[in-house]
Structures are given as structure tokens and as C-alpha cells.
Amino acid sequence: MSENQQENRRGALPRFAVILGTNEIASAVAVHLHKGDYGVILSHDPMPPVIRRKMAFHDALYDDIATVAGVSGRRADTGVDIRAGLARGGEVLVTKLGLLDLIVLGSIDLLIDARMNKYQVTPDLRRLARLTIGIGPGFCGGTNCDLAIETRPGMEGRILQDQSTEPPDRVARRLGARAGDRFVHSDISARWHTAIEIGARVYKDFLVGHLGTTPVHAPFDGYVRGVVRDGMEVPAGVKLLELDPRGRKANWTDLDTRAKAIGKAVVKAIAFRTTREERAPLPLHLVK
């Protein structure tokens, strides 16, 4: 099928990418694709909860201002909203619609799974879009996606054509003088309540919120880098809070180094696949 036929079949939509996830990694990828003239749709998945919300487009789902690296996100509730947003351009679209709802829009140019569901079964994305990319643990290029991208610290951004990404090692990378202890996890499944804002300075044992009726305190002095949105129902064992211990060097907005590397890797992966296809010899029956 020619490109013109594809465009006509899906109602003359511009080329667009569907990214599964609204976290900071998905958002970094969205920024790079948006700047590369893709229409971008971020599809929300409730697990795991998003905590680095000032580095992500997640809060657009609640009509809050969501701007990352100079790019704005806008909520889209229906297929009509998405079509209008893609035609209008200028913004990343953020929706609660799932992949099955988005497939009916037409042929997806690019499908990226950036949900970072490290411990869940990884789906087979192949044939759901013209190019599929899996980000993080559980993906293998050529097996459950066309290309996979490594996310492990120190290896982030590697493009894997026929290899698996590294499995999760449950080791948190260091941020200043802290590592895994900068996160507070949920001990139980309950509704989360907090009045704390991202960027706020807190001190050791400061009350940051309640999980159900259980009080949750800051583990040390620092700045709030991430926190689950107030009023969310959360399961046991997920991250509720992240503190940045770096004092004046603390950062909770824009794109961090790891997210930038992964976003750039997606752009390189697209270029790699395009170049490879252009160089591929024509099938014999098409050679004149």
C-alpha cells in the first residue's frame, strides 16, 4: 500500500506516534518526537503510578498545566479530540484511551511502550504499527518489538535490534549521596492523600501525607522530586515519594540526563530503521 493510500485510509492524519505511558521517560520520548514533527499521543497506564510529574505530561490528564522542555501537553478524551489535536499540531496529546481505542484512528506510524512495567508480562507489539519500539526490561528486538532500547543506568540509550534489554536488578542509581533510600514505598494498598507540592523543601520526619490512615514521613532532609498525585488509589509496593538530597543542585523539572539519552535513542532508532529499509534490495519480482 502506498503512503497516499495509507493517508486516505486513516482520514489524512499526519504521521503520528502512540506512546504507552505518561511518566518522565515516555514524556522525554514525546518531546523528542514532537520536535521531530511527529504528532504524539501519550496513552496513560495506571501502573506504576507517576511520581516525577514535573518532568512529565501526566498532569495534563487532570487539566493542570503540563509543559516539559518547552513543549505543552493537552488532555484528549475521545477519538474526535485526538483527530482534532493531531490536525491542529503544536502540542502533545495525553489521553486515558488505551491502545485498542487508538488503533481505530488508523495505521499507527510508530508505537512505543515506555510504561516501564518492569515486573509484568511484556506484550508483543509487532505488527501493531509500522515500527514498534520497546523501552526497558522485558523487551527483545525482533521478538516482541522491532527494536528495543536499554534503560539500565550506565547503558541507557543502547539500541537493540536482536537482543534483550537487561532484566531489572532492583538497584536504584545514586542521586547525590543517596540511592534507594530516597524513595518511600507504599506498604499497603490504600488511597493516598498529600498536600505536599513537588519542589517543596522538607526535613527528616516531616509529615508528607497519609496512605489510608497511615502517616508517611520524609526519610531525610531534601527537596520533593516526585510524589504520587493526591487522591490516587495505590497498590502496595509502589513508589509514593522521591526526595532529591542535592541541596541547591536539586532538580525536579525538565528532562534529566537519563531521560534525554533514551529520547535521543528513539530518534536514532527510527533513523536506523529508515536507513536500513532504504538500503534493502527490492524483491526480485519488483526489479525491472
Annotate 160-201 with DSSP letters as a single string.
ESSSBPPPP---PPPBTTBSGGGEEE-SS-EEEE----TT-E
Amino acid letter for position 103? I
The answer to whether residue 137 is domain-embedded is yes
The answer to whether residue 175 is domain-embedded is no
Do residues 208 and 218 touch, judged by C-beta distance below 8 A? yes
Global pTM value: 0.89
157 and 57 housed in the same domain: yes
Burial of 233 (0-12, 13-18, 19+ CB in 10 A): exposed
C-alpha cell at 187: 506498604
Element (H, E) at 82: helix 79-88
* Residue listed under C-alpha cell 522485558: 138
Q: What is the CATH number of the domain that holds 141?
A: 3.40.50
How many domains would you assign to the chain? 2
224 and 117 housed in the same domain: no
153 and 214 housed in the same domain: no
| First CA to last CA distance, the chain | 19
**Local confidence band at 11 (pLDDT 50, 70, 90 cut-offs):** low
Q: What is the CATH number of the domain that holds 191?
A: 2.40.50.100
Contacts of 201 (CB under 8 A, 6+ apart): 221, 222, 223, 224
Question: Edge-to-edge, what's the strand order for the sheet holding 239-244?
Answer: 183-185, 239-244, 222-227, 201-202
50 and 164 housed in the same domain: yes
**Local confidence band at 46 (pLDDT 50, 70, 90 cut-offs):** confident
The fraction of the chain above a pLDDT of 90, given in percent, is 79
Residue 282 confidence (pLDDT): 38
The answer to whether residue 24 is domain-embedded is yes
The CA distances from residue 63 to 31, 45, 153, 169, in Å, are 19, 17, 33, 36
The answer to whether residue 252 is domain-embedded is no
The answer to whether residue 174 is domain-embedded is no
Residue 7 confidence (pLDDT): 43
The vertex-242 CA angle with 267 and 22, nearest 5°, equals 35
Range of the domain at 80: 3-169+257-286
The better pLDDT of the pair 173, 32 is held by 32
Range with the lowest mean pLDDT among 6-10, 138-142, 197-201, 216-220? 6-10
Instruction: Provide the CB-side half-sphere exposure for 81 (13 A, CA).
Output: 15
The per-residue pLDDT for range 271-284, each reduced to its tens digit, is 977 665 555 443 43
Annotate 6-66 with DSSP letters as a single string.
HHHHTTSPPPEEEEE--SHHHHHHHHHHHHTT-EEEEEP--SSPP--GGGSSGGGGGT---
198 and 273 housed in the same domain: no
Query: Can you tell me the distance from the alpha carbon of 77 to that of 29, in angstroms, rounded to the nearest whole number?
Result: 21
Does residue 210 register a pLDDT over 90? yes
Residue 283 confidence (pLDDT): 41
197 and 262 housed in the same domain: no
Average pLDDT over residues 154-173: 90
Residue 288 confidence (pLDDT): 32
Furthest-apart CA pair in the chain: how many Å?
A: 75
Does residue 195 register a pLDDT over 50? yes
The answer to whether residue 8 is domain-embedded is yes
The per-residue pLDDT for range 49-100, each reduced to its tens digit, is 999 999 999 999 999 989 999 999 999 999 999 999 999 999 999 999 999 9
Q: Is 222 strand, coil or helix?
A: strand
264 and 128 housed in the same domain: yes
The answer to whether residue 27 is domain-embedded is yes
Residue 12 confidence (pLDDT): 66
To the nearest 10°, report the CA torsion of 194, 197, 199, 205: -30
226 and 271 housed in the same domain: no
107 and 225 housed in the same domain: no
The per-residue pLDDT for range 224-234, each reduced to its tens digit, is 999 999 999 99
19 and 95 housed in the same domain: yes
The fraction of the chain above a pLDDT of 70, given in percent, is 90
209 and 107 housed in the same domain: no
151 and 185 housed in the same domain: no
The answer to whether residue 235 is domain-embedded is yes
